[in-house]
Structure 1
């Protein structure tokens, strides 16, 4: 596998307008050949999608999803550029799928890794550095292991990094990018709220044996 430098990724990003991770993946898939990597991005619809990310997306939809049984509910806002696209079936399906994705992912708290506060990442690092299995390891090795674990943990908190529930071969970010390529507009997941029935309420713990005894007058 060819060594992919940050400079090469940056150059491809400038040419294509695609995201850093997409550019890096394209270069890896094509052994560092920028021309082939550019073709790869165009075939995936990512190059054109990347260029649209700078355009203002102020239209869109706020949609809801209530899971069977009414114990989990989601509100999500997804933006696009025009009301015409917002009213289309493809966009509505995307918003619905994203709402269902949020309902299915209890660990997700942020839209992307970039949205996660530094304080959260610092706390995760503090926890990982104190793990028993790292005791006695050299600092450089410990840092490398912790960096990998934190990266994985932060992705668990990010909506866009989740495998899409209807097609595990792509992430939610790739789902959005694919829809951008189809509809020709910038699309952004702006915010979401996840509701779990009873969450945050302190429930009184009752001993079952004591409860039965109280009901039968034995206590």
Structure 2
């Protein structure tokens, strides 16, 4: 017996996954209208598609900028795809905007993925965690396991791809990119990004208010 699937349910699934309308409708039909099962099915499909395309060269794309309200935080991002045709599509451009906004909102993020984090940074974090007082009296095997778990958590905190998407906390940025790979049919790569924070790196001169008043009166 066929299940009656409403247009609103299809629309809700599309907003959650970024998949095409027909793909959403088929996923719902295949899963008897269960939106959670359909969502999981589309995620698996997107992951499989993305993995197949991940080795393909992506040199087209756009450079996107985002300035946060108030003008104190800015981001520049290079997002690559395979063809200029996809680079001009609204879905790809919206993805670039959303990722740039995510970077602005993620103050701890410094790298695209955990694979990009230099070994010296990893070793430094290991040394910090291994030296914490709460581990001092634990057996070595347990201590090493705890340190490894903390390190993995810390590296994910500074990795963009491991951040939960601010517009949909059910998925990470990595999953968001893979969904768009499945949607657009091309490999998509976050090439690089830079975050600008107003006044960052500038040493602010501290002045004593009383001394300033004295200087004014002595002029």
Asked whether the two chains share a fold, i.e. TM above 0.5, the reply is yes
Q: Does the C-alpha gap of structure 1 residues 116 and 85 become closer, same or farther in structure 2, counting only changes over 3 Å?
A: same
SS in 1 for 2:160: coil
Q: Within the alignment, does 1:182 sit opposite 2:183 as a pair?
A: yes
Q: Does the C-alpha gap of structure 1 residues 82 and 206 become closer, same or farther in structure 2, counting only changes over 3 Å?
A: same
How far the C-alpha of 1:207 sits from its partner, in A, is 3.5
Distance (Å, rounded) in 1 between the aligned partners of 2:152 and 2:44: 29
Question: What is the CA RMSD across the aligned residues, in angstroms?
Answer: 1.9
Within 5 Å, which residues of 2 pair with 1:1-219?
Answer: 40=41, 43-211=44-212, 213-214=213-214, 217=217
| TM-score (normalised: structure 1) | 0.77
Distance (Å, rounded) in 1 between the aligned partners of 2:108 and 2:175: 20
Contact 2:43/2:179 (CA < 8 Å) preserved in 1? no
Contact 1:61/1:86 (CA < 8 Å) preserved in 2? yes
Per-residue deviation, residues 82-113 of structure 1 (Å, max 9, x unmatched): 00000000000000000000100111000000
Q: Does the C-alpha gap of structure 1 residues 42 and 152 become closer, same or farther in structure 2, counting only changes over 3 Å?
A: closer
Structure ranking higher on relative contact order (CA contacts 8 Å, 6+ apart): 2
Give the stretch that moved more between structures: 43-52 or 67-76. Answer: 43-52
Distance (Å, rounded) in 2 between the aligned partners of 1:76 and 1:100: 10
Contact 1:80/1:86 (CA < 8 Å) preserved in 2? yes
How many residues get paired? 180
Q: Does the C-alpha gap of structure 1 residues 169 and 192 become closer, same or farther in structure 2, counting only changes over 3 Å?
A: same
SS in 2 for 1:204: coil
Moved over 6 A (4+): none
How far the C-alpha of 1:77 sits from its partner, in A, is 0.2
| TM-score (normalised: structure 2) | 0.77
How far the C-alpha of 1:206 sits from its partner, in A, is 2.5
Q: Does the C-alpha gap of structure 1 residues 63 and 133 become closer, same or farther in structure 2, counting only changes over 3 Å?
A: same
SS in 1 for 2:161: coil
Distance (Å, rounded) in 2 between the aligned partners of 1:215 and 1:160: 53
Contact 1:80/1:186 (CA < 8 Å) preserved in 2? yes
Distance (Å, rounded) in 1 between the aligned partners of 2:209 and 2:43: 63
SS in 2 for 1:160: helix
Instruction: Specify every segment of 5 or more residues in structure 2 that has no aligned partner in the other structure, as ranges.
Output: 1-39
